Amino acid sequence: SRPVLGDLSVTSLTPSSMQLQWSVPEDFFDSFMLQYRDAQGQPQALPIDGKSRSVTVPGLSPSRRYRFHLYGLRGGKRIDHVSIDVITGTEEQEELPLPSEEQKHEKLQTEAPPSVAPPVRAVLGELRVSSVTPNSVQLQWSVPEGSFDSFMLQYRDAQGQPQALPIDGESRSVMVPGLSPSRRYRFHLYGLQGRKKTDRVSVDIVTGE
């Protein structure tokens, strides 16, 4: 039977990226190809493996219309294709990262006081070293209460330059490469909710010789 592509739909949207998803109601494809033109009008082609049913498209411009074409390939040949037109979000959405549009408008209108924030305040456990070498260190931590959307590790490198390492909210450890031997470093781990730093733990470490 000839493989068929289902509708192409948008599952998430920001000013600079979007996630698209589709189905394959009949048969299967070896791979997919997503094609579109960027903000400069240059054609872009994104190869996708045959098991995938969604893709994130990064590097887009805010408040702009894009037309995406998804091709299903079998043996290097395009067998079927579906298209969709999408307009990216506005820049204001990125500056106010709230879980939903409804909450964003509600907050802007009511100016709710900080006391109406999440009921459980997320708390960071102790920041510990799980391994150390002359040029790297692995740190780990826990979250005994609540949850964080993401983390940020900050420290100064051997030249005294500030470094910031973003970490996703599910992680409980991070490897920090590019350090210098026999040197003291102070690491600060911040827990973020939205884009606000809500808790912090620190640790001092001397790298190996």
Place of tokens 């506005």: 90
**Mean predicted confidence (pLDDT) in 68-75:** 95
Sort strands 31-37 and 18-21 into parallel, antiparallel or unpaired.
unpaired
The structure's pTM equals: 0.46
Distance CA 27, CA 45 (A): 24
Cβ neighbour number for residue 80 with a 10 Å cutoff: 19
87-106 pLDDT, tens per residue? Answer: 998 865 444 444 444 444 44
Domains 7-88 and 126-206 share a fold: yes
Of the candidate ranges 81-90, 107-116, 164-173, the one whose mean pLDDT is the lowest: 107-116
**By three-state DSSP, how is residue 179 classified?**
coil
- pLDDT over threshold 90, residue 50: yes
SS3 sequence, 67-130?
EEEEEEEECCEEEEEEEEEEECCCHHHHHCCCCCHHHHHHHHHHCCCHHHCCCCCCECCCCEEE
Pick the CATH number of 126-206 from 2.40.50.140, 2.40.40.20, 2.60.40.10, 3.40.50.11540: 2.60.40.10
How distant is the alpha carbon of residue 43 from its chain centre?
Answer: 25
Query: How distant, in Å, are the alpha carbons of 39, 44, 100 from that of 87?
Result: 12, 17, 18
Can you give the pLDDT at residue 107? 44
Pick the CATH number of 7-88 from 3.40.50.720, 1.10.287.3510, 3.90.870.40, 2.60.40.10: 2.60.40.10
Cβ neighbours for 132, distance < 8 A, ≥ 6 positions apart: 138, 205, 207, 208
Of 144, 141, 147, 150, nearest to 194 by C-alpha is 150
Largest CA distance in the chain: 65
Residues 144-161 pLDDT 10s = 888 888 888 889 888 887
Residue 74 has φ and ψ, to the nearest 5°, of -140, 120
Q: Structural domain boundaries of the chain?
A: 7-88, 126-206
What mean pLDDT, rounded, does the chain reach? 84
